[in-house]
């Protein structure tokens, strides 16, 4: 008996295995006297290795395949962490560029170039755009308290929060430096400050209330019970715009420590800084408690995907897609199943021509 005759298919799925060939066809395939426990562990192990190698055990496969539990949540894969951190830095950069730049541009050109309503609506529109164009990469937190809220909710691992926070603050600092380099330091130079005559504790409580609503909207639209996909960007952006329209004169309606403390870090001006750290942090914690009351613990699979992004789960490079679609090396392409050949003289007899063959034949002789 040669080695080729003894070889069995690698796949652990009996539906994908072809009919046995050679003397191996005489051996029983199921449990019996010779194989009391079905397929041996070596064969199952080889099947798992083959499926991992060919990408058949990815998260898009069924749960019945080996290794599907490991590969199903690819947004846990640390190989994509650099992309996620870059997305958080870039997104927070654009957010602070608009939020801080509106006031600076308005002060630079006389105080009437950018109306007050536009200054509070522009950051909301930017957040909507960022969520839509790269929310699936990093979750588009753009806010340290949002990252902490997802972690408290159990939808985001705590070990990744510090790197997210650093990337968000770096984006705020870079946006402030670019604004200073392009138009100079004008007005409050990007700082978030309480309104005229507003004590710092009042501004802190104001930020707490506004942030509670913001994080509640974020957690609610990303949960398994009320997840609305990309349209969550509309809900989040709408809340930011509405909160800014009536809350900005009191505290600036920052709701984001990276937006407020990034410019303060560059300026070295720490006036009322604690109100824009304590208020949003307490508001995010309160929003997590509200989500616990409304929907119970955790946001489900949709909540984890919204918090961590789906890169690696619903997105793959093109060459990887082609490799996954191609049949494994050494195996013929998958065709329609055929009945096994019949043993005996009947197998050598050609099929008789019937009406179907006559109709299907060529029309010309």
Comparing 100-104, 265-269, 349-353, which segment has the lowest mean pLDDT? 349-353
Report the distance separating Cα 123 and Cα 240, nearest Å. Answer: 8
Max intra-chain CA distance, the chain: 103
Decide if pLDDT at 76 tops 50: yes
294-305 per-residue burial string, b: 16 or more CB within 10 A, e: under 16: ebeeebbebbbb
Residues 6+ apart with CB under 8 A from 33: none
Tell me the range of 4-13, 200-209, 215-224, 327-336 where mean pLDDT is highest.
200-209
Return the percentage of the chain with pLDDT > 90, whole number: 41
The pLDDT value given to residue 148: 97
Q: Give me the mean pLDDT over the 82-87 stretch.
A: 94
| Three-class SS of the chain | CCHHHHCCCCCCCCCCCCCCCHHHHHCCCCCCCCCCCCCCHHHHHHHHHHHHHCCCCCCCCCCCCCCHHHHCCHHHCHHHHHHHHHHHHHHHHHHHHHHHHHHHHHHHCCCCCCCHHHHHHHHHHHHHHHHHHHHHHHCCCCCHHHHHHHHHHCCCCHHHHHHHHHHHHHHHHHHHHHHHHHHCCCCCCCCCCCCCCCCHHHHHHHHHHHHHHHHHHHHHHCCCCCCCHHHHHHHHHHHHHHHHHHHHHHHCCCCCHHHHHHHHHHHCCCCCCCHHHHHHHHHHHHHHHHHHHHHCCCCHHHHHHHHHCCCCCCCCCHHHHHHHHCCCCCCCCCCCCCCCCCCCHHHHCCCCCCHHHHHHCCCCC
Cα within 13 Å of Cα(213), Cβ side: 18
Reported pTM: 0.67
Is residue 120 within 8 Å of residue 248, measured between CB atoms?
yes
31 vs 93, which has greater pLDDT?
93
> Contact at 8 Å (CB) between 91 and 138?
yes
Q: What is the pLDDT of residue 136?
A: 87
pLDDT at 62 over 50: no
pLDDT of residue 267: 82
Q: pLDDT by residue (tens digit) across 7-19?
A: 444 444 444 445 5
Confidence of residue 351 (pLDDT cuts 50, 70, 90): very low
> What number is the average pLDDT over the span 137-162?
94
- Is residue 107 within 8 A of residue 186, CB to CB? The reply is yes
171 CA to centre of own chain:
20
CA distance 307 to 141: 8
**Mean pLDDT score of the chain, rounded to an integer?**
75
Q: For 285-344, what is each residue's pLDDT tens digit? A: 999 999 999 988 887 888 888 888 888 676 655 555 555 555 555 555 544 444 444 444
pLDDT of residue 270: 84
Torsion of CA 206, 211, 216, 222, to 10 degrees: 160
User: How far is the C-alpha of 253 from the C-alpha of 275, rounded, in Å?
Assistant: 11
pLDDT of residue 63: 39
Nearest residue to 35 (alpha-carbon basis) of 8, 15, 4? 8
> 40 CB contacts (<8 Å, ≥6 apart)?
none
């Amino acid at each position: 008996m040669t080695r080729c005759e003894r070889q069995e298919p690698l796949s652990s799925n009996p539906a994908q295995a072809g009919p046995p060939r050679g003397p191996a066809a005489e051996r029983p395939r199921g449990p019996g006297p010779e194989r009391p426990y079905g397929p041996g562990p070596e064969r199952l192990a080889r099947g798992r290795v083959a499926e991992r190698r060919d990408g058949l055990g990815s998260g898009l496969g069924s749960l019945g395949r080996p290794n599907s539990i490991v590969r199903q949540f690819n947004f846990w894969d640390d190989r994509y962490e650099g992309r996620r951190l870059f997305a958080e830095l870039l997104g927070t950069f654009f957010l602070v560029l608009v939020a801080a730049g509106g006031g600076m541009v308005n002060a630079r050109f006389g105080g009437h170039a950018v109306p007050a309503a536009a200054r509070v609506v522009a950051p909301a529109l930017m957040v909507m755009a960022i969520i839509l164009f790269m929310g699936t990469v990093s979750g588009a937190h753009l806010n340290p308290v949002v990252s902490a809220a997802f972690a408290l909710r159990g939808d985001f691992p705590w070990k990744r929060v510090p790197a997210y926070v650093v990337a968000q603050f770096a984006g705020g600092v870079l946006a402030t430096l670019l604004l200073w380099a392009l138009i100079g330091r004008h007005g409050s130079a990007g700082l978030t400050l309480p309104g005229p005559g507003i004590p710092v504790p009042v501004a802190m409580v104001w930020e707490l209330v506004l942030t509670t609503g913001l994080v509640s909207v974020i957690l609610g639209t990303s949960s398994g019970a009320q997840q609305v996909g990309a349209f969550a960007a509309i809900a989040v952006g709408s809340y930011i715009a509405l909160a800014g329209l009536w809350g900005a004169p009191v505290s600036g309606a920052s709701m984001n420590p990276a937006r407020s403390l990034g410019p303060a870090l560059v300026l070295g001006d720490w006036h009322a800084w604690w109100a824009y750290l304590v208020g949003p942090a307490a508001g995010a914690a309160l929003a997590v408690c509200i989500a616990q009351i409304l929907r119970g613990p955790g946001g489900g699979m949709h909540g984890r995907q919204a918090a961590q992004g789906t890169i690696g789960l619903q997105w793959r490079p093109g060459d990887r897609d082609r490799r996954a679609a191609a049949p494994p090396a050494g195996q013929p392409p998958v065709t329609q199943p055929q009945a096994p050949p019949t043993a005996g003289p009947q197998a050598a007899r050609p099929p008789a021509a019937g009406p179907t063959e006559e109709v299907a034949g060529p029309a010309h002789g």
